Copies of this chain bind each other. A is one copy, B any other.
């Protein structure tokens, strides 16, 4: 199935409208509010952060998905303030904003899901958001430009808007899946990651969406890392309007494929836009004893500052990869392992191999390449996407809040 990227025309799901606005939360004065609405309602499923300091909108969102039995009318997103670390006042602030929007749209307050990104521990300016709600509701539009504007409005340190879509037809009905995501730092996928919103016009029960969303997230947002940090606000939300008239039961195969493809594309766009990232590395772990072990091994390599700085220097110093595997929490055995940088086999069964260092260095100057690690312990495998650690990451993050 063909997945369309941010530069291609979007396969636009019917049954949604989008808007964005300015509440003045950010000192920069950039747009900081975004709204997606399903005028006829939508079945919803979500994966939230497992961070135990989860932000107020995550706490409120989790509760609302249960209380509404997975039926939502709108999601209200802000940037500039994560509404995390604010205790009960944060929860009240999130509820206040959703209530104002619900009144404006004439829907039940519990059918609006809040979503926030930005600085942690700063009191949430609910009144600024409430004041912006009428304009936000008035600006609601369907169509590709409105979805693209929604995707841009949720950006923070992102350099590029991130968007993916796919479609398929069955029995004369066309089903579309389109998603946007924000995120460039604080990216470690031990769970849902960043803020991602995926819209589809398939008709489905919330429980069926949940069953499909979790494995799609595991194979995409949970198989990437920029910096090993896990946000308090990570959310992947899937909304299905049913407006295509196609029932999920009849199209589960192609829908699942479209959903996975869109998630995978969005996740890859996040790593490509990783803060300061200059190289996207496809870390292919094979020969693991289990899927969990493959993930443990991949993360130990992908999150090692020494490995990531070697990548920044285009340095085929595979010894740091070996050391990162050795420190991970599984019974790594160098005598059974092998490592290759692109086509260059550098280590096999406990021994260094002669290889062309200059050619490997040239390969690592490319914006994207693969590193293969075979653990020699079993049959599980995983492709994990990650990036290098550069001066630019330090610059962005040492200057963020003050």
From B323, B331, B389, A232 is in contact (CB under 8 Å) with B323
Alpha-carbon distance A357/B229, docked complex (angstroms): 24
Chain B residues with CB below 8 A from A361, complex form: 402
**Chain B residue with the shortest CB-CB distance to A89:** B351
A288-341 residues with Cβ-Cβ distance < 8 A to B are: 303-306, 309-310, 312-320, 322-328, 331-335
Given A85-B319, A398-B313, A400-B310, check contact A232 B326 (CB 8 Å).
yes
Binds B, one of A32-40, A46-54, A216-224, A245-253: A46-54
Chain B residues with CB below 8 A from A88, complex form: 350
Chain B residues with CB below 8 A from A134, complex form: none
Residue in A85, A322, A333, A400 whose Cβ sees the most chain B Cβ within 10 Å: A85
Judging by beta carbons under 8 Å apart, are A402 and B315 in contact?
A: yes
Judging by beta carbons under 8 Å apart, are B334 and A400 in contact?
A: no
Alpha-carbon distance A51/B324, docked complex (angstroms): 8
Residue in A82, A309, A317 whose Cβ sees the most chain B Cβ within 10 Å: A309
Binds B, one of A117-125, A169-177, A204-212, A257-265: A117-125
Judging by beta carbons under 8 Å apart, are A228 and B398 in contact?
A: no
Q: Does A16 contact B (CB under 8 A)?
A: no
A41-100 residues with Cβ-Cβ distance < 8 A to B are: 50-54, 82, 84-89
Q: Does A391 contact B (CB under 8 A)?
A: yes
Judging by beta carbons under 8 Å apart, are A230 and B327 in contact?
A: yes
- Known A312-B394, A361-B402; further 5 A-B contacts with Cβ < 8 A: A52-B325, A53-B334, A228-B304, A228-B305, A389-B394
18 contacts between A and B (CB under 8 A): A52-B332, A52-B334, A84-B323, A85-B319, A85-B334, A85-B347, A86-B351, A88-B350, A120-B320, A120-B322, A122-B319, A188-B327, A190-B327, A229-B323, A232-B323, A305-B305, A316-B402, A394-B394
